Chain A
Amino acid sequence: AAGVIQSPRHLIKEKRETATLKCYPIPRHDTVYWYQQGPGQDPQFLISFYEKMQSDKGSIPDRFSAQQFSDYHSELNMSSLELGDSALYFCASSNGGRGTEAFFGQGTRLTVV
C-alpha cells in the first residue's frame, strides 16, 4: 500500500539558510499535517491543511510557512534557519472528510550547522 512520501530524507543547511521540505500524502487523502520532533521529544504539531486550505495552526515559527497544492502535496518552507531548528520533521496525511486516522511519513532529518 502506498504510504506518505517525504523528501528529502536528510538535509544539512547552514544557519540563516532556507530549506524546503516536501510531503506527498497517501492517494485520496485530502489532509496533511506537519510535525516537528526534537531529539528525545514527542512530535509537536506545526500546521495542517485540508483541501488546500490551512485548517489548523500550532507552534509554527513565523519564519516557517507551508502550503498544500492542487495535487494535495504539501511543502514546508523554512527561512533564516537556526541551530534549534535541527529536528525530524514529519508529515502525516488523512482523509479529513471521512475522519480517518493519520498516517505518518518517514520524516526529514534537518540538521542546521
Chain B
Amino acid sequence: QQQVKQSPQSLIVQKGGISIINCAYENTAFDYFPWYQQFPGKGPALLIAIRPDVSEKKEGRFTISFNKSAKQFSLHIMDSQPGDSATYFCAASRAAGNKLTFGGGTRVLVKP
C-alpha cells in the first residue's frame, strides 16, 4: 500500500511554463513533507520542505502548497527551464530526521 501517492507519473511542459505535481498521504502522523529532485544516476537532492502548520512555502521558482484537511500537498515549478528536467519525488516523515516515505515520482520534461 502506497502511503504517499504522487501524480502525474510524467509531465511535459514548455519552457517558461508551470509544472504542477500533486501528492496525497494517508498517515496523519506525518508532519514533515520534503520534495526531492533527482537526475539520472544521481542521489535525490532536497529542494524544499514544509510542515503542516504552514499552508504555503516559496523558495525561488519552487512553491509548496499544503492542505492539511485534505492531506494533500503540491509542488509548483514556475518559469520551468530545460535544466529542471528531472524526476521529482514528494516524501513524508514523522519529523525531519526520520525515515522518509516517498511518492512514486514524477518525471518532468521541459521542452525548450
Show the binding face of A for B, using Cβ within 8 Å. Answer: 4, 31, 33, 35, 41-45, 48, 56, 58, 88, 90, 92, 94-96, 98-107, 109
Return the chain A residue nearest B105 by Cβ.
Answer: A42
Binds A, one of B44-52, B53-61, B64-72: B44-52
| Known contacts A100-B97, A101-B34; A107 and B43 CB within 8 A of each other | yes
Known contacts A101-B49, A107-B42, A107-B43: A42-B104 contact under CB 8 Å: yes
B100 touches A45 (CB 8 A): yes
Main SS at interface, chain B:
loop
Task: Determine if B95 and A99 form an interchain contact, defined as CB atoms under 8 angstroms apart.
Answer: yes
Give 8 new A-B contacts, CB below 8 A, not counting A42-B104, A45-B99: A43-B89, A45-B100, A58-B99, A100-B96, A104-B36, A104-B46, A106-B42, A106-B43
**Bound: A98/B98 CA distance, A:** 11
Tell me the bound Cα distance from A109 to B41 in angstroms: 8
Tell me which residues across on chain A come within 8 A of B36, comparing CB atoms: 104
Beta-carbon contact of B98 and A56 below 8 Å? yes
Contacts of B97 in A (CB 8 A): 31, 94-96, 98-102
B102 close to chain A: CB less than 8 A: yes
Question: CA A105 – CA B44 in complex, angstroms?
Answer: 8
B42 to chain A: which residues have CB within 8 Å?
106-107
When chains A and B are docked, how far (Å) is the Cα of A42 from the Cα of B44?
A: 10
Docked complex Cα distance between A48 and B97 (Å) = 10
Residue pairs across A and B with Cβ atoms less than 8 A apart, 14 shown, are A31-B97, A42-B105, A94-B96, A98-B97, A99-B95, A101-B46, A101-B49, A102-B46, A102-B96, A102-B100, A103-B46, A104-B43, A104-B45, A106-B42
Do B102 and A42 have beta carbons less than 8 Å apart?
A: yes
- A56 with B99: CB separation less than 8 A: yes
Residues on B with beta carbons closer than 8 Å to the beta carbon of A90: 43-44
Q: Please, which residues of chain B bring their CB within 8 A of the CB of A45?
A: 99-101
Q: Which of B89-112 contact A (CB under 8 A)?
A: 89, 95-105
CB neighbours of B44 from chain A (8 A): 43, 90, 104
